[in-house]
Amino acid sequence: MSTGRAAVVTGIGSYVPPNVVTNDDLAERLDTSDAWIRSRTGIAERNFITPGTSTGDLAVEAGLRALKSAGDERVGAVVLATTTPDQPCPATAPQVAARLGLGQVPAFDVAAVCSGFPYGLASAAGLIAAGITDRVLLIAADAFTTIINPADRTTAVIFADGAGAVVLRAGDADEPGAIGPLVLGSDGELSHLIEVPAGGSRQRSSDRPVDPEDHYFRMLGRDTYRHAVERMTAASTEAAERAGWRLDDVDRFVAHQANARILEAVSDRLGIPAERQLSNIARVGNTGAASIPLLLAEATAEGRLAAGHRVLLTAFGGGLSWGATTVVWPELQTT
């Protein structure tokens, strides 16, 4: 059955800043080692922005590539999923839209931390389903190093900077590229597991003096790990069921690149063999909201993800928040 207003992927692009930071580089200034980072996270290197670069800059680069890949540079809306907007106010998306020469289109940010991509897909699909526009540029970008405490070895070795983007157009639910049923959820009872305590109205309206450390990102790693495995497994199972797929049908499994051990645990629980799982965490680390579209773009360019592949994707992050969906991969130009 077709709705005629499904959101269909028609372009893809990504960008990581050129500054590569290895585990040994981090071990020069932190009490850590290449062996610990590799064995506990699967990360070997990642890309950090250099001073002067912002999330908006990364978003513009990925957005340009996605628009070029789509072959038609006009869109009617821009959605930016990010944890690290250029400023607390206004949203970063309008400036990104202007810098991309897209004119005065609707543009807004989505704040769902590392689940930003599926939440952004829901926003973009909603704009299309509501008839507000036929084409949306969805960018997911994070400059995590701007909120990480460089002295905190539990987060500084994991998080990194990057951006990924897709162009979505109105189309038919049955055609390749159509975003399948979206499963989304949150648990605000556990918001303390991943947080930046200061900088918002809660801290600003309190009479407690602010500790400079409260402006940094904090994560309770072990608890977060457990919830990440449970939530991504459950959301993936539900998304596949709602799409009418068996897990055996999945050709490529794409999970938020949080930690290689989490990825292994989730695919084990789902019974998806390792060779059907895509991963780039060894090279790029955990890039927050950008993680999934960055991986999709790289895998498409490398041919690891090809037209016709049945893709199951899932994300998990602060909030807590999570999401999953399915898509039969379309034929895409990569730049």
* Residues labelled as active-site residues: 114, 256, 286
Site string for ligand UT7, 181-210 (x = CB under 6 A): ------------------------------
Q: Which of 225, 234, 260, 264 binds ligand UT7 (CB under 6 A)?
A: 225
Span between the terminal Cα atoms of the chain, in Å: 34
**Per CB under 6 A, which of residues 251..270 are in contact with ligand UT7?**
258-259, 262
* 233 binds ligand UT7, rule: CB under 6 A: no
Q: Which of the ranges 78-86, 87-95, 223-231, 322-330 carries the binding residues for ligand UT7, by CB under 6 A? A: 223-231
CA 245 to centroid of chain Cα atoms: 23
* 14 binds ligand UT7, rule: CB under 6 A: no
Q: Which is nearer to ligand UT7, 137 or 232 (CB)?
A: 232
Per DSSP bridges, beta strands 321-328 and 310-317 are antiparallel
**Per CB under 6 A, which of residues 96..135 are in contact with ligand UT7?**
114
Q: How many Å apart are CA 148 and CA 253, to the nearest integer?
A: 29
Give the residue at shortest CB distance from ligand UT7: 221
Provide, rounded to whole angstroms, the least separation between the CB of residue 187 and ligand UT7.
13
Nearest to 66 by CA among 309, 293, 306: 293
* 143 binds ligand UT7, rule: CB under 6 A: no
Q: Which is nearer to ligand UT7, 136 or 228 (CB)?
A: 228
Q: Which is nearer to ligand UT7, 149 or 154 (CB)?
A: 154
**Per CB under 6 A, which of residues 270..289 are in contact with ligand UT7?**
286
Q: Which of 108, 221, 234, 245 binds ligand UT7 (CB under 6 A)?
A: 221
DSSP state of 104: S
HSE, side-chain direction, 13 A CA sphere, residue 278: 29
Q: Which of 42, 118, 317, 330 binds ligand UT7 (CB under 6 A)?
A: 317
Residue 264 token pair:
């292994």
Q: How many Å apart are CA 312 and CA 247, to the nearest integer?
A: 9
Per DSSP bridges, beta strands 20-22 and 77-81 are unpaired
* 176 binds ligand UT7, rule: CB under 6 A: no
Q: Which is nearer to ligand UT7, 172 or 223 (CB)?
A: 223
The count of residues in the chain is 335
Residue 323 host element (H or E): strand 321-328
Provide, rounded to whole angstroms, the least separation between the CB of residue 316 and ligand UT7.
6
Q: Which of the ranges 93-101, 123-131, 202-210, 220-228 carries the binding residues for ligand UT7, by CB under 6 A? A: 220-228
* 28 binds ligand UT7, rule: CB under 6 A: no
Q: Which of the ranges 5-13, 50-58, 82-90, 152-160 carries the binding residues for ligand UT7, by CB under 6 A? A: 152-160
Is there a contact between 129 and 164 (Cβ–Cβ < 8 Å)? Answer: no
Each residue of 2-25: b (16+ CB within 10 Å) or e?
Answer: eeeebbbbbbbbbbbbeeebebee
Q: Which is nearer to ligand UT7, 177 or 317 (CB)?
A: 317
# binding residues, ligand UT7 (CB under 6 A): 20
Q: Is 202 left (phi over 0), alpha (psi -120 to 50) or beta?
A: alpha
DSSP state of 38: H
| Helix %, strand %, coil % of the chain (to 5) | 40, 25, 35
Per DSSP bridges, beta strands 77-81 and 183-186 are unpaired
Binding site for ligand UT7 (CB under 6 A): 32, 36, 40-41, 114, 153-154, 157-158, 221-222, 224-225, 228, 258-259, 262, 286, 316-317
